[in-house]
């Protein structure tokens, strides 16, 4: 009887060790599969992140170039504005309006028409044709 109990104990011990080995093998294989899947996902995420970084660097370089261009244009515009301010400071509009109102009106209308054409050109719109007959107010 003791032999039977020892035999059953040894068989159950060997069975437990065998089952543990099979369970450990299956668990390890499942973890390896999960780790491979995670690795693929991480590699895809890393590629996406690298592409995003490259795009952002290209955008930053483009924005810096556009900033330099805009700064240059702003400086030119400010210089032109300063020239206009100096020119307007030299002109006595009240005296011109008293002496030659029709000539002043024509000059102002031409200037406004040029301004409209410049704005249309800058915005990409088609410039309006100039008025055939200038309007004269009395």
Q: What is the pLDDT along the chain (138 residues), one digit of tens a residue?
A: 889 999 999 999 999 999 999 999 999 999 999 999 999 999 999 999 999 999 999 999 999 999 999 999 999 999 999 998 888 888 777 887 788 888 888 988 998 999 999 898 888 877 666 655 555 554
CB 105 within 8 A of CB 136: yes
Measured between alpha carbons, how far is 67 from 60 in angstroms, rounded to an integer?
A: 10
Measured between alpha carbons, how far is 81 from 113 in angstroms, rounded to an integer?
A: 18
Which pLDDT value is given to residue 138?
Answer: 46
Question: What tokens does 83 get?
Answer: 């020239």
Residues 6+ apart with CB under 8 A from 96: 103, 104
Measured between alpha carbons, how far is 57 from 49 in angstroms, rounded to an integer?
A: 12
Angle ∠(86,92,96) on CA atoms, nearest 5: 135
pTM here? 0.47
Which pLDDT value is given to residue 134?
Answer: 54
User: How many other C-beta atoms lie within 10 A of the C-beta of residue 120?
Assistant: 13
């Amino acid at each position: 009887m003791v032999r039977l109990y020892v035999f059953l104990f040894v068989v159950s011990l060997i069975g437990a060790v065998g089952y543990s080995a099979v369970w450990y093998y299956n668990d390890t294989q499942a973890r390896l599969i999960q780790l491979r899947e995670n690795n693929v996902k991480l590699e895809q995420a890393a590629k996406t992140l690298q592409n995003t970084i490259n795009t952002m660097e290209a955008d930053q370089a483009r924005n810096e170039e556009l900033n330099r261009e805009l700064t240059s244009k702003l400086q030119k515009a400010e210089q032109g504005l300063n020239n206009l301010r100096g020119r307007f400071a030299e002109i006595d509009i009240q005296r011109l309006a008293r002496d030659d109102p029709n000539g002043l009106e024509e000059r102002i209308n031409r200037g406004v028409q040029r301004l409209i054409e410049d704005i249309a050109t800058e915005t990409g719109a088609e410039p309006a044709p100039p008025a055939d007959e200038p309007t004269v107010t009395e």
